[in-house]
């Protein structure tokens, strides 16, 4: 029996029901969804081991993670995020962030270029720095600017309208 003989794709759709902590400013983690598969860069080249002396298991393959975050009207949008590209003989990695309207698309792609299922211990040292850069990219946070004074004034007006008694009679 051959597992995964054909390319396959897993799609997961999810929504967060928990309200956002307001005001939406400062840095926030990017949600990464249901843990159905390992995240890009995890698993294909095994785990990192400093000072590795023995060959280790590794696989050729490609992992793609795409996340779409839609921000409701009235919420601030995140500050522009710069992606990252890493290329070496063992793997390539790229991250891209695209804001269209009120939807931010985060796309991360990892591809291992190894020739077999066993990697020489020297590969560990050769990829260590690039793996750290990739892990940093995978931990990128969204940044939101503090609300402007105009926004604060608008919130005050909304608050005073909402606190006015309803149905009062003179």
pLDDT at residue number 50: 84
pLDDT at residue number 4: 56
Distance from C-alpha of 127 to C-alpha of 44, rounded to nearest angstrom: 13
Reduce the DSSP state of residue 58 to 3 states and report it.
Answer: coil
Contact in structure between 123 and 48 (CB atoms under 8 Å): no
pLDDT at residue number 150: 47
Distance from C-alpha of 31 to C-alpha of 66, rounded to nearest angstrom: 11
Q: If you count them, how many residues does the chain have? A: 170
pLDDT at residue number 106: 95
pLDDT at residue number 20: 66
Its pTM stands at 0.74
pLDDT at residue number 6: 67
Residue boundaries of the structural domains of the chain: 35-147
pLDDT tens digits for the chain (170 residues)?
Answer: 455 566 667 677 767 666 667 778 888 888 776 666 677 878 899 888 888 899 999 999 998 889 888 888 888 999 999 999 999 999 999 999 999 999 999 999 999 999 989 999 999 999 999 999 999 999 999 999 876 654 555 455 444 444 433 333 33
Q: Cis peptide leading into 23, omega within 30 of 0?
A: yes
pLDDT at residue number 156: 55
Sheet of 61-70, strand order:
61-70, 103-112, 91-100, 84-87
Four-way CATH pick for 35-147: 2.60.120.1130, 3.40.50.720, 3.40.50.10420, 3.30.930.10: 2.60.120.1130
């Amino acid at each position: 029996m051959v597992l995964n003989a054909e390319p396959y794709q897993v799609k997961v759709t999810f929504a967060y029901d928990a309200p956002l902590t307001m005001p939406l400013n400062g840095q926030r983690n990017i949600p990464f969804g249901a843990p159905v598969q390992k995240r890009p860069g995890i698993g294909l080249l095994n785990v990192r081991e400093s000072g590795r002396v023995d060959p280790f298991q590794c696989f050729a393959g490609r992992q793609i993670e795409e996340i779409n975050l839609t921000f409701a009207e009235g919420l601030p949008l995140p500050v522009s995020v710069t992606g990252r590209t890493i290329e070496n003989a063992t793997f390539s990695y790229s991250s891209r962030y695209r804001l269209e309207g009120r939807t931010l698309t985060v796309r991360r792609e990892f591809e291992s270029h190894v020739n077999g299922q066993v990697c020489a211990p020297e590969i560990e040292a050769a990829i260590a720095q690039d793996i750290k850069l990739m892990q940093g990219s995978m931990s990128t946070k969204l940044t939101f600017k503090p609300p402007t004074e105009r926004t604060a004034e608008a919130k005050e007006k909304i608050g005073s309208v909402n606190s006015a008694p309803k149905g009062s009679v003179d």
